[in-house]
Structures are given as C-alpha cells and as structure tokens.
C-alpha cells in the first residue's frame, strides 16, 4: 500500500499498521515453542486497537490486561476470548476484580498479599471460585531503560520470591481460590535471552519446591519484554524468538504444565508507522528544525524515554542529508522526535514516516494542547481499512460541563 495515498485519503498524522506483520510475529512464537503447551497472551497496553485485538483473537491469542478498561476492550473485540485473559497490574480495584470474575477470565496475576486477600473476599462475595498466580519478583537485572525495568526488589511490581511459598501455603484449602500458576515479568525492551532464562530458572525452582509441599501449579507465566531493534539494523526477529524459546525451555526442563507468554511490543511495534506531514523547515542560526503536524501527544516515547525511532521521507528527494531536529507544534521544548538526526532534504508538504511506532504510540497518545488524536488504518494484504476515525472537537468536548 502507498503511504502517500493513505495519507491523502485519511489525513495526517496517521497510524498505519500491517496485519500480515503482526500475524507473522505471532507465528514465530508458535513455531519456536512447538511441542510445549503454551498460550500467547498479547499485552493489550502495547496497542489496544479493537481491530488488532480481534485479529489476534481470531488466530488463537490470549490477552494480558492491566485494567478493567482493557478487559472491556477485549470483550468488545472478541467476547469469546474472555477465558484466555490474564489480569496483571499492581492496583486492581474491587470493581475491576468483580468484572473479571463475572466474565470468567483465565487467571489473576496477584501482585501483593493485600490483593490476594481482596481477591479472596470478592470471589467469596460473588461465590465464584477463581484461579490465581502470584507474580513473583525474582530480583533479576535486565539491561533496559530504568522506567521499564520491573524485576528488582526496589520496583513496585510483584512479591518477593522468598515470600511466595508462604503465601501459597496460607491460602491452600481456600474454598474460593485455586493456586493455578506463578507469574514473572522482569521488564520491557530486553534484547538478550539470558535474563529470561535466569528469571524462569528461579521460578521453576520454586514450583518444584511447592510440588514437594503438596501444591501443584499448572501454569508458569513468563511475562513479556522481548525487545526489538529500533535502529533499523539487520537483526533477525525469528532468531531472537528462537533464542528466547531455547532459554525458557532450558529453564523449564521437566515442567509439564502450560507456559503463558505476554509479548506486546514484539508483536506490534514494527508493524506500525506514524505518518506525518512537514509543516515547514525553520532555520534558527546554525540549527535546522523540521516541524511536523505530529507531536509528542501522538507519540510520546522520544520525550518520555528518549526513545529512538527511525524517521524516513515517504518520497525521498535528491540531495545530501543534513542534521536536523524533527519536532512537533506542541508548546513544550520536549516536543521532539529526533535531535541532530541526519535526514534527506525535505520541504513543506512532504511526508515523513516514523517507523516501529505500532507499540506505545496510539495507546499513550493524549489530547494535550486540545489536539485531535490520529486516525488509524490497518493494511491487510493489498487492502487497507480505517479502524479508527480521527477525533473531532465535538468528541473532546462531549464529556465536559461548562
């Protein structure tokens, strides 16, 4: 599909996703884990588009959610997938727990002793027996951005792995709680398979200990976090998944239960691009600014994480590349996509594509400066369809009372 044609038809900024790419990535996990009982639970927070959720559900995926709203999205896209949902997150409310209990999700990933007590109370109140897994914190370091590292003791996530056995034993025999599994998630955008193997090795050791003490867990949730290459390198994603699977299988040797996985970014990031139009090219002394109609409210990752996205002209012009700052029109100095980035010549009206923007792009977008969030398009083979229309000012003001 021509990005230029899509931009002309649907306007800019515009998110464009490839369905084929998403399904190809899902298939990599199935191929690498062939022979092991597993369920890929897509991390909805990465990109919560109903069309993408429906696409994945139709191909057998489950879902990892972190809020009641994300559960509602899964139910709207694929109500039949409720039994393939795991509910993670450190701050589940009683209403969210009740909602998940009523629709019959697969399991709750419990992150504290207080949450376990709340889950027990709500299950008893509703008279619904429920499956749970303790999310343990294995104290494994994963080399990634500190904002997306989650596996150390000083992080807010999970339960100290040394206390987990005590909690499983404390609720053994509870009429409304079934100790179904154990969960771990050490962070996001992790490029090496070694930390995953180390974390799962510690988890498997605990599972064997619990079995000896009469507590049989039937699932291990390995979480997500497998990273991608944002710098346009020649890395082989299928090989990365194979390495990941080898590390996990080695750590779980002898475990015959079900393996749950929660990839998000790896499935959708490189399937998406944010297409934006150049508003003008501005010279300030020695500094050149390329000002686009997309801004930090559309894609906040560079401002929030200093994240790198490759940026390319949709229709390249001849000429020597030069260092520019690529920025948006929002009234913040942090409103940038790249600084001192070499870019081929561009002029007012040209289109740029910010690559690898399928994850944590639209899902983190906002209406800062009363800006309308982008439209979204899904490309399926040789066909493209609008999966979310562009917002209007009426949409933004509908909930407000002057």
The full set of domain ranges for the chain reads: 3-13+270-389, 19-266
Q: Is the pLDDT of residue 57 over 70?
A: yes
Residue closest to 198 by CA, chosen among 134, 164, 231, 247: 247
pLDDT at 152: 44
Token digits for 344?
A: 């081929």
pLDDT at 142: 57
Token digits for 55?
A: 């696409």
The mean pLDDT value for 1-6 works out to 96
Of the chain, the percentage scoring pLDDT greater than 70 comes to 96
Distance, in Å, from the CA atom of 78 to the CA atom of 154, rounded to the nearest integer, reads 37
Question: Which tens digit of pLDDT belongs to each residue from 197-219?
Answer: 999 999 999 999 999 999 999 99
Residues listed for the chain: 402
**Residues annotated within a binding site:** 225, 262-265, 301, 305, 332, 360
**Residues annotated within a binding site for substrate:** 265, 301, 305, 332, 360
Q: How many CB atoms lie within 10 A of CB 14?
A: 26
Of the chain, the percentage scoring pLDDT greater than 90 comes to 91
CA angle, residues 201, 206, 209, in degrees to nearest 5: 130
Distance, in Å, from the CA atom of 100 to the CA atom of 128, rounded to the nearest integer, reads 11
Catalogue the E-assigned strands of 305-393: 311-313, 322-327, 336-343, 351-354, 375-380, 383-388
Distance, in Å, from the CA atom of 400 to the CA atom of 307, rounded to the nearest integer, reads 34
Structural contact between residues 140 and 202, judged by C-beta atoms closer than 8 angstroms: yes
DSSP states along 167-232 = HHHHTTT-TTEEEEEEE---BSSB--SHHHHHHHHHHHHHHHHHHHTT----EEE----B---TT-
Domain 19-266 in CATH 3.30.1280.10 = no
Mean of per-residue pLDDT scores for the chain: 94
Q: Is the pLDDT of residue 36 over 90?
A: yes
pLDDT bucket at 133, cuts 50 / 70 / 90: very high
Distance, in Å, from the CA atom of 328 to the CA atom of 317, rounded to the nearest integer, reads 21
CATH architecture of 3-13+270-389: Beta Barrel (2.40)
H helix or E strand, kind and range, residue 280:
strand 272-284
Distance, in Å, from the CA atom of 71 to the CA atom of 77, rounded to the nearest integer, reads 10
**Residues annotated within a binding site for pyridoxal 5'-phosphate:** 225, 262-265, 360
The pTM assigned to this predicted structure is 0.94
pLDDT at 151: 40
Torsion of CA 205, 34, 269, 53, to 10 degrees: -100
Q: Is the pLDDT of residue 388 over 90?
A: yes
Using DSSP, state whether 380 is helix, strand or coil. Answer: strand
Catalytic residue set: 331
Q: Is the pLDDT of residue 341 over 50?
A: yes
């Amino acid at each position: 599909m021509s990005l230029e044609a899509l931009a002309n038809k649907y306007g800019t900024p515009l998110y464009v996703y490839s369905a084929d790419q998403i399904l190809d990535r899902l298939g990599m996990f199935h191929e690498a884990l062939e022979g092991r009982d597993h369920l890929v639970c897509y991390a909805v927070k990465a990109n919560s588009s109903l069309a993408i959720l429906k696409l994945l559900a139709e191909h057998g995926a489950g879902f990892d959610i972190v809020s009641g709203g994300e559960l509602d999205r899964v139910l709207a896209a694929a109500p039949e997938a409720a039994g393939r949902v795991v509910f993670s997150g450190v701050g589940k409310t009683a209403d969210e727990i009740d909602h998940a209990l009523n629709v019959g999700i697969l399991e709750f990933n419990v992150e504290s002793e207080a949450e376990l007590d709340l889950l027990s109370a709500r299950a008893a109140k509703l008279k619904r027996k429920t499956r749970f897994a303790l999310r343990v914190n294995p104290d494994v370091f994963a080399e990634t951005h500190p904002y997306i590292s989650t596996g150390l003791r000083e992080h807010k996530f999970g339960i100290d792995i040394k206390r987990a056995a005590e909690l499983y034993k404390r609720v053994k025999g509870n009429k409304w709680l079934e100790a179904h599994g154990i969960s771990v998630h050490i962070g996001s955008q992790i490029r090496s398979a070694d930390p995953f193997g180390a974390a799962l090795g510690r988890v498997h050791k605990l599972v064997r200990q619990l079995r000896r003490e009469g507590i049989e867990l039937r699932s291990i949730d390995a979480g997500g976090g497998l990273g991608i290459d944002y710098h346009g390198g020649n890395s082989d994603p299928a090989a990365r998944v194979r390495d990941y699977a080898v590390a996990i299988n080695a750590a779980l040797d002898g475990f015959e239960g079900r393996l749950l996985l929660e990839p998000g970014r790896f499935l959708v990031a490189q399937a998406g691009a944010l297409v934006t139009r150049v508003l003008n090219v501005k010279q300030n002394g020695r500094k050149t600014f390329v000002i686009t109609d997309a801004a930090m409210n559309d894609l906040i990752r560079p401002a929030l994480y200093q994240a790198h996205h490759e940026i390319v002209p949709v229709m390249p012009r001849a000429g020597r590349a030069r260092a520019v700052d690529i920025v948006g029109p929002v009234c913040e100095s942090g409103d940038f996509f790249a600084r001192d980035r070499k870019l081929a010549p561009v002029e007012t009206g040209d289109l740029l594509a910010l690559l690898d923007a399928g994850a944590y792009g639209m899902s983190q977008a906002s209406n800062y400066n009363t800006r309308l969030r982008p439209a979204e398009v899904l490309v399926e083979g040789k066909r493209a369809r609008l999966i979310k229309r562009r917002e209007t000012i009426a949409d933004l003001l509908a909930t407000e009372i002057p």
